[in-house]
Chains A and B, each alone.
Chain A
C-alpha cells in the first residue's frame, strides 16, 4: 500500500482565509466567535457563531457562477484554489481522469434553499430560481469543483454529521493507497449560519446560549461548559502518493499514517458515555498506522463541550493511552472559531499539520477549570512541543467515531 502525503492546504475559516493569516490567529489564541450579524437572530436561544466576513475579497469565482451556487460551494471553490496553489499543482497538466474530489458536509446548501423556499411561498413557482435544483444538495461543492477544474476521476461526497470531512479524508487516503488515482482534493465545507440551519442546530439542543459573552461561550472540557458554537468555512487539502510528491519535489506537509471509523450503535443523538467504540476506532487507526500508543505526541480533540461527549472522548483516550493520557498534549482549537460541523475534522487536520510544522500546539481557549482527572490540556496559550505523530478525533450524531493519524515526513 502506498503512503499518502498531504502537499497543499486550503483553509477558509472565521480565523482567516489562507494558512498564514489563519495560523497567526490560531497560535495567538484569538477568538472569532461573535454575535450573528447576517440576519436577525436575536430570538434564537443561541445567536452567536464563527462567521466569515470577507469571502468575496478572496474569491476568484465569477458573478455568473456565484448566482448559481450556495455559500458552501463558494467556500469549497476558494479552499480548493488555495490548496492547489499551496501544493504547486497546475491542474491543467494533470490527467483529469486520475484526479478525484472527496468532500464532506453535514447540512447542504441551506442559505440558497431557504431563500428560494421563502420565494416559492410568497411569489409562487415562478419566484424560485432554477439554480435551486443544483445549488442546495450536499454533493453540489464536489460538482462545482469538478466543473471548475475539469476533474473527471472517481469522487465522493460523504455525509456523516460532524465526522463528514475526516471520513472523506480517510476514504481519499484509502483510494489513493490502492493506486486508483494520482491526486485527490479532500476535506469539507459547511455554511450553517443561516436562519433555518441555525434553528435546527438550536433545536438539537447542544448549542451554548452564552450570548452575553461570545468569545467565552465555547469551552470544551471546562467545568462551566455550556455547549458548542457553530462556525462556517472550508478546509481542503491536496493528497497524493508520497512517491509522486517526492518525485515532483513537493513540500510534504505531513504523511497519513492510519485511519479508522466505526459507530456506537446506541442512540440517534447521544454518544456512548464510556467511549468504547471511539477507543476501538483509535486502536484500529493505530494498528492501521503500524503505530504504538506511545508514538502519539499530540491529540486534536473533538471537544463538543457537552458533558456526555467530552466525558466519552476522555474515557476513550484513557482506555487507549493509559497513564500516558495525562502526559500527551491535547487541545481543541475550534473553541476559538466555532465547530464547523461537517468541515470540522478537515480544519482540525490542517491545524494539526501547522502545529507539527511549527512545533507549537495551539490552545483550547476558555478552559479555565479543567477536570483534574482529565487530560494534559494545552490551554490559554500555545505551547512548544515537537510533534512527530498526531491523532485527530472527529465524531458525529448517531454515534459516528473517526480517528486519523498523521506523521512528519522522515
Chain B
C-alpha cells in the first residue's frame, strides 16, 4: 500500500471514529495537542485502525502522543 493511501485511510478512520471534520486534522501535530484526543477516544481510534488495516495494533503502539505522520510510519512498517 502506498504511503498516500495509508495516510488517507488513517485520516478517514480518525474522522469517522472521533466525529471530527477532515479540515481539523493536522498531519504533524500530536493527536492530543491538535485534536484534544483523550484516552477513551484513543481506544476507539486504535480499534478502528486495526479493523481498517486488518492488522493487530495495540494501544501501546499507537498513542494520543503520536502525530498522523508517525502513525503512517508505524502502520507502514507493520504492513511491510
Interface of A with B (CB < 8 Å)? 62-68, 126, 129-131, 133-134
Contacts A/B (CB < 8 Å), 23 sampled = A62-B19, A63-B19, A64-B18, A64-B19, A64-B20, A65-B19, A66-B19, A67-B18, A67-B19, A68-B40, A68-B41, A126-B47, A126-B50, A129-B44, A130-B39, A130-B40, A130-B41, A130-B43, A130-B44, A131-B40, A131-B44, A133-B40, A134-B40
Closest to B47 in A: A126
Residues from chain A with a CB closer than 8 A to the CB of B19 are 62-67
CB-contacts of B2-34 with A (<8 A):
18-20
Query: Which residues of B line the A interface, CB within 8 A?
Result: 18-20, 39-41, 43-44, 47, 50
Majority secondary structure, B binding face: helix
A147 CB to nearest B CB, Å: 11
Q: For B24, give the chain A residue with the smallest CB separation.
A: A64
Question: What is the CB-to-nearest-CB distance from A60 to chain B, in angstroms, rounded to a whole number?
Answer: 15
With a cutoff of 8 Å between Cβ atoms, the chain B residues found around residue A130 in the complex are: 39-41, 43-44
**A62 CA / B18 CA spacing, docked (Å):** 11
Write the nearest CB–CB distance from B63 to chain A, whole angstroms.
Answer: 14
Bound CA span A328–B68, Å: 68
Q: Give the residues in chain B near A64, CB-CB below 8 Å.
A: 18-20
Cα distance A62–B44 when bound, in Å? Answer: 17
Query: Chain B contacts of A66 at CB under 8 A?
Result: 19
B11 to chain A, nearest CB (A): 15
Complex Cα–Cα for A129 and B42 (A): 11
Residue in A closest to B40 when the chains form the complex, CB atoms: A130
